[in-house]
Structure 1
Amino acid sequence: MTRLLPSLLYAVFVLLATTAARAETVRTAAVFDAVFVNSSPQPTTPEEKARIARLTAQLKQALDKSGQYHVIDVASIKPEVDAVRDVHDCNGCEADLAKKAGAQVAVVAWVQKVSNLILNMNIRIVDAATGAPIKGGSVDIRGNDDLSWNRGLKYLLEEHVFNATR
């Protein structure tokens, strides 16, 4: 038993150090509502409004589940957020808003509809203290339906957010 004690203590130390290191890498994230930019001649449909709301919820859930981010509630800064027309296009105000909410990073997402066939989905994550971009990406999706939106988000998260080296 006394021979096992040093090995057991070492294993506990490694486990605690690994857990602490993981905890340090989890960033608090202020995720703002995704924005739908309709530059097509067609009016925005109720289905598109529902998809953009679902996109926000799916993004928050995926970030929280990843273990890389802890999504915080931004309700405390709702008046400031509501005063901004588009958080994704406000000349860097998302960093200031995230900082006010107590987050380390700001996350913005938007979908631009060119037509019912061509849409562009985007995510940007910036450091709340400096406004510097941390991660982000863009993907063109074909088809304006739940399946294409879900696949677009999955691709963005896997290729540009969770696996990005930047």
Structure 2
Amino acid sequence: MRLFPVLAAAVLLCGPALAAERKVAVFDFELNDTSLDGQMRGVQPAETARLERLAPALVAKFDAEPGFAAVDTAPVEKRAASQHLQACGGCDVTLAKSVGADLAVTGEVQKVSNLILNINVYVRDTGTGKKVAGGSADIRGNTDESWSRGIDYLYRNVLKKQLEALR
């Protein structure tokens, strides 16, 4: 009987550490370029490189966040890349579920011009298919620094607050 209070205290102290992590599938971002620059010059290698850095940046943030852990999306990467994840009727949820994720994270960068861009992130629950978090960050300037600061701002000031409710 003396052991019970010790065990109860241990469970109370370790409870948060024992809480199940939410598994998160972060898919590569897509570019929606409606700019005149994009129409005239096509896809730019610098933008493609910036786009490829956004998902890994979010993966690192989710992995550093208590209660969340990113899963490997490599098994479904080709299928995801072959579809427009924002308009595929829930394929992001299906793909995320197939790699064991609880949440599907997709995103896109809307390029209006070389000066005006938006980074958008959408988080959907794989059990219900409903959007549970998301947001947008407007950035000015089409540079490595503006894209990096934009995704950092979006996570820190928008997504993180919404994700706290999902723990």
State if a TM-score over 0.5 links the two structures.
yes
Q: Which amino acid aligns with 2:11?
A: F
Distance 1:45 1:75 in 2: 25
Distance 1:51 1:134 in 2: 26
Deviation at 1:155, TM superposition (A): 1.5
Q: Which amino acid aligns with 1:99?
A: K
Seen in structure 2, the aligned counterparts of structure 1 residues 144 and 82 have a Cα distance that, compared at 3 Å, is closer
Match of 1:157 in 2: 155
- List 4+ stretches of structure 1 deviating above 6 A: 5-8
Structure 1 vs Structure 2 CA RMSD: 2.2
Please show how residues 84-163 of structure 1 align to structure 2 within 5 Å: 84=83, 86-163=84-161
Q: Is 2:34 the partner of 1:28?
A: no
Seen in structure 2, the aligned counterparts of structure 1 residues 13 and 102 have a Cα distance that, compared at 3 Å, is closer
Identity %, equivalent residues = 38
- List alignment gaps of at least 5 residues for structure 1: none
- With normalisation by structure 2, the TM-score equals 0.84
Deviation at 1:76, TM superposition (A): 2.1
Deviation at 1:161, TM superposition (A): 1.2
Deviation at 1:127, TM superposition (A): 0.4
- List alignment gaps of at least 5 residues for structure 2: none
- With normalisation by structure 1, the TM-score equals 0.85
1:71-93 CA-to-partner distances (Å, cap 9, x unmatched) read 11122223432432x21332222
